[in-house]
Structure 1
Amino acid sequence: MAREDQADQRTAALRRILIPLALAQFICSFAGSNMNVMINDISEDLDTSVQGVQVAITIFLLVMAALMIPGGKLTDKYGRKRCFTVGLVVYGVGAAMSAAAPGLGVLILGNSILEGVGTALLIPPVYILTTLLFTEVTSRARAFGAISAMGGIGAAAGPLIGGLITSAISWRAAFGFQVLVIVVILWLARNITDPLPPDRTRPFDIGGAVLSAVGLVLVVTGILAADNNAWLMIALIVAGALVLVWFFRSVRAKERAGNEPLLSTALFRNRTSNLGLVTQNAQWLLLTGVSFVVAAYLQVVRGYDAIETGVIFTAETAGLLAASLAAERFAKRRAQRTLILAGFLVVIGGVAVLLALVSGTPNVWAFAPGLLLIGLGLGVMLTPSVNVVQSSFAEHLQGEISGLSRSVSNLGSSLGAAVAGTVLVAGITSTPERSYALAMIVLAAVGCVGLAAAVFLPRTSPVPQDDQPTSPTT
């Protein structure tokens, strides 16, 4: 009886720990999508353009992607709980600065830089703490499911919540809402304890962190430059690719010398994990890309305000929420590969519906069926993709794969706003229908890439890889 009481107390304690972790993922995903419905309000208030707001959104997502891997490595040196707390504080300061921004420059500093840095510090600890604290396989899968679902819901509900707050008060109040949520998370997380002590002697690969960040920044900046200068776009993308090649060569050199690099090459020797990372990248690219394209089209072309735009996105939020709530039941009945395949098929169908029903009809509710299908498809496959990647590695590599997994997902988000957004913004004022159609076709192609990767996933659950990295780990 006493043993059962102890088990119940541990379960209750873990649930209390899971709440702030899931809320942290929710607010970071919310921040990546809620600005989409404020495009007109922000551009008018700060005397900027749609492209200026797109740049702010993309830089936020890019900073997250570029710094997520270094953020994961810092948790070993300074502790997971400390990095989580510092990240929350930096994020909160950035949100407060954004709420009071007098111009686009301050908004980019607060929202794009500080909130991006804060997210990169706090998100890796969310997944590492979950891995370390939820030691039983079933409870860990449920915890990852809850966190992934909150992330997806935050991204999908961002336009609705942001639209409601913007219409009722102002776009600045939406950033105030983020500050309040951060304060709540800090209070709820006060009793979280780090299961592993920090190792201050642990080396940190500064050179690798700089190379990886610069390479990613150059690639995404090149995509953003596509509508201004084709040669500049090519030059930036090629330069970014060369820097990333330099980064991976430096990683190999450090491992051969017995030093600890930013990222272990063991993470890239698992075929199942690599395919899972492709599906993660495609999923978040689709979620962010669809959100930006539809929100910008509704506001700039159709003239809808923030609340009207946000209401339309309730279809996507409802679909994602319904599928996420049923995720555990789906997982018991179907293999993870099957769920990911089904998810991509439904999402591609949703994009096709958005393309077919919207063109030629003035009825704004024509967006609802497509958005609903996209929400359902994403809700079905977000959690299985995370489980496929995390389950491919043993305990000693969980910290590194968590940072890589979040970086790949956030890179997908930044590419969604950059790729689809650039295609749309390039002709949104001159040929809006054509630009909208091209952006949707690009997103459908991304869905096909994710579907192709899912086809090659194993039919059974992956066996954890027990490769020891050449560098020491905790």
Structure 2
Amino acid sequence: MADTGTSGGPSAAQRRVLAPLALAQFICSFAGSNMNVMINDISEDLDTTVQGVQVAITIFLLVMAALMIPGGKLTDRYGRKRCFLAGLVVYGIGALLSAVAPGLGVLILGNSILEGVGTALLIPPVYILTTLLFTDMASRARAFGTIMALGGIGAAAGPLIGGLITSWISWRAAFVFQALVIALIIVLSRHLEDPLPPDPTRPFDTVGAVLSAAGLVLVVMGILAADDNVWLMIALLAVGALTLLWFFRHVRAREAAGKEPLLSTSLFRDRTSNLGLVTQNVQWLLLMGSSFTVAAYLQVVRGYDAIETGVVFTAATVGLLATSLAAERLAKRWPQRTLITAGFVVTIAGIVVLISMVNSFPSAWAFAPGLLLLGLGLGVMLTPSVNVVQSSFPEEQQGEISGLSRSVSNLGSSLGTAVAGTILVAGLTASAYAAAMIALAAVGLIGLAAAVFLPGTPATRA
């Protein structure tokens, strides 16, 4: 096991294992946020609208969410490393296709579909392998801290890195950058070893995969339709809800027949895990929703270019980096419930500051205090939320819970962009910006309530 003999810092062997896994989370999180600063450039180059770019970003996040559960199950059948490498290849092809896209349709195919599918294949193995290779709580907290730190940095620094690349070269070069990082991860992955052999005879619930994906897609597309057609929104939401109900009935029927479903209902019998999943969903909803809202407001309403917008987001990056890298030390001093609760309090405070300061001061620096608080709060709670969920289940269920966990998180990301983006795009004014941020703060209170009800556990000890 990777954590053998480590009571202090990570060994060279651990760093070799963690490097490709953490970089994979970084680039997938980067892809979800870096397009936020390219809104004007992409819309002008591809002759589309802000709403068109929002749809592309949301579909990318939605494809990840819809396919993450099937992706997690496929790791049991084909092996975690094999799925990881397959996902990297599909993602790389999508990034290169996006770089040469002549129109919005090809961009959606490359970025939203192929990169989304690739991410759904490669991300579950990241969390499964981390849980299997780091078996004690201290080393696992350290490993998840590193992975979530790079994931948070990718999401928060995506606007800055994307802004620099877009301003200095082109928005297309940002996708070439993604492809280069993917190539580096593939090279580093030669050190990875799968601790569990694949089981080619493991059944795969194709009907369940289709129903779960269709249900999630319909729900999010319904939210996106809110500013165009209320009746279409209601219809999509209703059909989506019915499809998800059909999916859960299908799961129960397979379990009653003694067959393995896509998602075992036993995953939802653990109260701690359920509450942890809610906090994960809300965390990523707040991160991606606020990122899109602030970036779109700065570019469309205030007229900032890509690099100026990216620089503003440096405050969030600093906050996320500071608290994410301190995850192991924080886990040793404070219970996970305390960290998650404190994270939500600080994050919601950051959103409140973003609303009040921006309305009071015209300077771009008025965004810095709120974004810093947002980054600090999210960085504090990202790692303990993942640890709470992953550690609630034994090795044989890691494929299922990893897929569910990542699906819930990415659903939060897509909902954040869809909900906040729909409110903002409907008006694209200062009042619409405030309304979108208020909606995010309200959702944050739901996450805070879930954190408060988490059972108390002692701080992690090495």
TM-score by length of 2: 0.97
C-alpha separation between the residues in 2 aligned to 1:361 and 1:349? 18
Which residue of structure 1 lines up, in the alignment, with residue 443 of structure 2?
Answer: 446
C-alpha separation between the residues in 2 aligned to 1:5 and 1:161? 37
Which residue of structure 2 lines up, in the alignment, with residue 468 of structure 1?
Answer: none
Other structure's SS at 1:195 match: coil
Q: CA deviation at 1:362?
A: 1.7
Q: Do the aligned partners of 1:284 and 1:410 also contact (CA within 8 Å) in 2?
A: yes
After superposition, the C-alpha distances for 1:419-471 in whole angstroms (9 at most, x for unaligned) are: 0000000011xxx0111110011000011010011110111169xxxxxxxxx
Q: Do the aligned partners of 2:222 and 2:233 also contact (CA within 8 Å) in 1?
A: yes
Other structure's SS at 2:307 match: helix
Q: 1:444 to 1:258 in 2, by over 3 A?
A: same
Which residue of structure 1 lines up, in the alignment, with residue 122 of structure 2?
Answer: 122
Which residue of structure 1 lines up, in the alignment, with residue 358 of structure 2?
Answer: 358
Higher mean displacement: 30-39 or 390-399: 390-399
5 Å matches for 1:287-366?
A: 287-366=287-366
Q: One-letter code of the match for 2:326?
A: A
5 Å matches for 1:230-269?
A: 230-269=230-269
C-alpha separation between the residues in 2 aligned to 1:350 and 1:5? 40
Residue 385 in 1 paired to residue 385 in 2? yes
Q: Do the aligned partners of 2:6 and 2:139 also contact (CA within 8 Å) in 1?
A: no
Which residue of structure 1 lines up, in the alignment, with residue 14 of structure 2?
Answer: 14
C-alpha separation between the residues in 2 aligned to 1:50 and 1:312? 20
Higher mean displacement: 85-94 or 138-147: 138-147
Q: Do the aligned partners of 2:98 and 2:175 also contact (CA within 8 Å) in 1?
A: yes
RMSD: 1.7
Which residue of structure 1 lines up, in the alignment, with residue 85 of structure 2?
Answer: 85
Q: Do the aligned partners of 2:141 and 2:331 also contact (CA within 8 Å) in 1?
A: no
Q: One-letter code of the match for 1:189?
A: S
Higher mean displacement: 192-201 or 281-290: 192-201
Q: One-letter code of the match for 2:449?
A: A
Which residue of structure 2 lines up, in the alignment, with residue 212 of structure 1?
Answer: 212
Which residue of structure 2 lines up, in the alignment, with residue 32 of structure 1?
Answer: 32
Which residue of structure 2 lines up, in the alignment, with residue 193 of structure 1?
Answer: 193
Q: CA deviation at 1:12?
A: 2.2
Q: One-letter code of the match for 2:26?
A: F
- Runs (4+) of structure 1 moved beyond 6 Å? 4-8
Q: Do the aligned partners of 2:141 and 2:327 also contact (CA within 8 Å) in 1?
A: no
Q: Do the aligned partners of 1:279 and 1:454 also contact (CA within 8 Å) in 2?
A: yes
After superposition, the C-alpha distances for 1:237-264 in whole angstroms (9 at most, x for unaligned) are: 1110110011011101100100000011
Which residue of structure 2 lines up, in the alignment, with residue 410 of structure 1?
Answer: 410
Which residue of structure 1 lines up, in the alignment, with residue 108 of structure 2?
Answer: 108
Q: Do the aligned partners of 2:142 and 2:327 also contact (CA within 8 Å) in 1?
A: no
Q: CA deviation at 1:378?
A: 0.3
Q: CA deviation at 1:136?
A: 2.7
Residue 458 in 1 paired to residue 455 in 2? yes
C-alpha separation between the residues in 2 aligned to 1:395 and 1:5? 21
Which residue of structure 2 lines up, in the alignment, with residue 68 of structure 1?
Answer: 68
C-alpha separation between the residues in 2 aligned to 1:75 and 1:326? 31
Q: CA deviation at 1:5?
A: 9.1
Higher mean displacement: 102-111 or 324-333: 324-333
Q: Do the aligned partners of 1:73 and 1:204 also contact (CA within 8 Å) in 2?
A: yes
Q: CA deviation at 1:328?
A: 1.6
Q: One-letter code of the match for 1:78?
A: Y
Which of 428, 433, 447 is the matching residue for 1:436? 433
After superposition, the C-alpha distances for 1:36-76 in whole angstroms (9 at most, x for unaligned) are: 00000000000000000000000000000000000000111
After superposition, the C-alpha distances for 1:61-110 in whole angstroms (9 at most, x for unaligned) are: 00000000000001111111110001000000000000000000000000
C-alpha separation between the residues in 2 aligned to 1:6 and 1:178? 33
C-alpha separation between the residues in 1 aligned to 2:253 and 2:305? 54
After superposition, the C-alpha distances for 1:385-425 in whole angstroms (9 at most, x for unaligned) are: 11111122222222211110000000000001000000000
C-alpha separation between the residues in 2 aligned to 1:133 and 1:458? 26
Other structure's SS at 2:350 match: helix
TM-score by length of 1: 0.94
C-alpha separation between the residues in 1 aligned to 2:35 and 2:46? 14
Q: Do the aligned partners of 1:23 and 1:150 also contact (CA within 8 Å) in 2?
A: yes
Higher mean displacement: 260-269 or 137-146: 137-146
Could you list the runs of 5+ residues in structure 2 that have no partner in the other structure? Answer: none
Other structure's SS at 1:359 match: helix
Q: Do the aligned partners of 1:70 and 1:262 also contact (CA within 8 Å) in 2?
A: yes
Higher mean displacement: 137-146 or 272-281: 137-146
5 Å matches for 1:136-151?
A: 136-151=136-151
Other structure's SS at 2:262 match: coil
Q: CA deviation at 1:14?
A: 2.3
Could you list the runs of 5+ residues in structure 1 that have no partner in the other structure? Answer: 463-474
Q: Do the aligned partners of 1:388 and 1:461 also contact (CA within 8 Å) in 2?
A: no
C-alpha separation between the residues in 2 aligned to 1:422 and 1:184? 36
Q: CA deviation at 1:361?
A: 2.7
Q: 1:294 to 1:6 in 2, by over 3 A?
A: closer
Q: CA deviation at 1:137?
A: 2.7
Number of equivalenced pairs: 457
C-alpha separation between the residues in 1 aligned to 2:232 and 2:288? 25
Other structure's SS at 1:157 match: helix
Which residue of structure 1 lines up, in the alignment, with residue 59 of structure 2?
Answer: 59
C-alpha separation between the residues in 2 aligned to 1:5 and 1:446? 43
Q: Do the aligned partners of 2:321 and 2:379 also contact (CA within 8 Å) in 1?
A: yes
C-alpha separation between the residues in 1 aligned to 2:430 and 2:112? 30
